[in-house]
């Protein structure tokens, strides 16, 4: 499995930094965001290191597992019916802080319009 020494989320996968796990498979880990921006805010990550979602573009099976896990998280969190949002920040303009692929799963409240730079 690809890992990166200085990567925060690789350390979480390795168990070196504690996390509040919601769901886990052999290839995917989902845990609560440490600074939640919605009533439900879970991060879904591949256990194998990739910097951004863009780098996974050719990896259909891995992407399918990642998004299937987002759906499973929504089911476990009880927001499947009320609705939720999946977001992945890619690069500087999106404000990506952690360069290990992660999907934000947000819900448990009305989220309003998709956040953008205007309005």
Which residues are part of the catalytic machinery? 102
Looking at residues 46 to 75 of the shown chain, list those that interact with Zn ion (rule: CB under 5 A).
49
Q: State which of residues 6, 16, 35, 92 lies at the interface with ligand AMP (CB under 6 A).
A: 35
With CB under 5 to 8 Å by kind, the binding choice for 33 among Zn ion, ligand AMP, none is ligand AMP
Single out the segment in contact with ligand AMP by CB under 6 A; choices: 46-54, 65-73, 93-101, 106-114.
93-101
Tally Cβ neighbours within 10 Å of residue 91: 12
Helix, coil or strand: residue 85: strand
Task: Give the CA distances from residue 61 to residues 13, 21, 28, 67, 94, in Å, rounded to whole numbers and listed in that order.
Answer: 20, 23, 12, 10, 25
- Is 95 exposed, middle or buried (CB count within 10 Å of its CB: 0-12, 13-18, 19+)? exposed
Binding mask 76-115 for Zn ion (x = CB under 5 A): ------------------------x---------------
**How far is it, in rounded angstroms, from Cα 99 to Cα 37?**
19
Consecutive H or E run containing 46 = strand 40-46
| Pick 41 or 80: Cβ nearer ligand AMP | 41
Contact call for residue 17 and ligand AMP (CB under 6 A)? yes
Binding mask 37-56 for ligand AMP (x = CB under 6 A): ------x-------------
């Amino acid at each position: 499995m690809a890992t990166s020494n200085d990567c925060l989320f690789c350390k979480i996968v390795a168990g070196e930094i504690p996390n509040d796990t919601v769901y886990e498979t052999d290839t995917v880990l989902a845990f609560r965001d440490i600074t939640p921006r919605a009533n439900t805010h879970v991060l879904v990550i591949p256990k194998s290191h990739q910097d951004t979602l863009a780098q996974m573009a050719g990896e259909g099976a891995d992407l399918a597992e990642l998004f299937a896990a987002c759906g499973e998280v929504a089911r476990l969190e009880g927001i499947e019916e009320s609705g939720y949002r999946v977001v992945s920040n890619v690069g500087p303009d999106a404000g990506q802080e952690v360069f290990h692929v992660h999907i934000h799963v947000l819900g448990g409240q009305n989220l309003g319009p998709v956040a953008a730079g205007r309005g």
